Amino acid sequence: MPLFQYKVIRVRKLSIATTISVHPERGVVVRAPFWLSSSAIQKFVEEKSEWINKHLKKIGSTVPEKKYLEGEMHLYFGQEYPLKINLINTPIRTSVEMAENSIKVDLYQGHTEDKKGLEIKEGLLRWYLETGISVITEKVNFYTEKVGVNYSRIDIKKVSSIWGSCSPNNRLSFNRKLIMAPHEVVDYVIIHEICHLVHRNHSSRFWALVAKYDPKYKEHRRWLYRNHLLLSI
Ligand SMILES: [Zn+2]
C-alpha cells in the first residue's frame, strides 16, 4: 500500500518514457506507455517515492519541520501530545515513554543543543518502533484469528515507502510511522494486508473481505492519503 494516491495516464505511443509529475491540484500523475503493466508502473512509483514525497511536501508545505523542543506536539495513535523533556545529570541513553498527557523524554543534559534534538528524534523513532512491534503484533494476531489465516512473521520497517505489505511467503511488513495514525486507521492497514493472505490482488472479492472486517475502510484509506505528510518524525 503506497503512501500516496496517484493517477495513471496511458499514452498511446510505443516509445515514450514513463514520467511522474506532482501538481498542487491534480496530485501525483504518472504518464506511461499503454503497454506497460500496472505492476511495472507501481514498481516505478515505489522507486521514485522519495522524490515524490519531497515534492508533495514542498507544495503542501503546511507541515512545519519538527524541532524536538519542550512542548512541541507529536502524534501517538492519532492524538497529539506535547514533549516533556526531563534533563538528567548523568550520561544515559535517551528514553521515551508515554506519561500522563505528554510524551516524556529522559535526556542527558550534557549533550550539545544540536545533539539534544537528534537524540530526541532518534529516541522517538526507537519508541515508535518498539511500540509498533507490540501493538501491531497484537492487532495482527487478533485479526488473523478472526479471518482464519496464518502468517509467517511480522516486520516493522524502519524506513519504508509503504504502509504495509504481504509477501508471497506470508510475511507481513508494516511502517513504524503507523503508530502515529489513529487506531482505526492502523487496524485498516492491518486488515488490508491480512486480506492479502486470502486474495493476492485488489479484486472486488478482496475489497469485499476488507469491508467485512472494516466497514469504514474507504474513510480510513482516505485518511491515510490525506494525512500521510503529518506522520513525519
Ligand atoms: Zn493491497
pTM of the model: 0.74
Distance 201 CA to ligand 1 centre (A): 7
Q: What angle do CA 89, 90, 96 make, to 5 degrees?
A: 85
- pLDDT > 60? residue 62: no
Domains of the chain: 6-60 (no CATH), 73-130 (no CATH), 131-230 (3.30.2010.10)
Distance 129 CA to ligand 1 centre (A): 22
The model's pLDDT over 197-220, given as tens digits with 9 standing for 90+, comes to 999 999 999 999 999 999 999 999
118 Cα: distance to centroid of ligand 1 (angstroms): 34
pLDDT in tens, 146-177: 999 999 999 988 767 788 999 999 999 998 88
State in Å: Cα 203 to ligand 1 middle: 10
**Gap from CA of 110 to ligand 1 centroid (Å):** 47
Ligand 1 centroid to residue 183 C-alpha, Å: 19
Report pLDDT for 217.
Answer: 96
Number of CB atoms found within 10 A of residue 168's CB:
6
Q: What is the DSSP string of 168-217?
A: TT-EEEEEGGGGGS-HHHHHHHHHHHHHTTT-SS--HHHHHHHHHH-TTH
The rounded Å distance from CA 39 to ligand 1 centre is 12
- Note whether 96 and 121 are within 8 A (CB): no
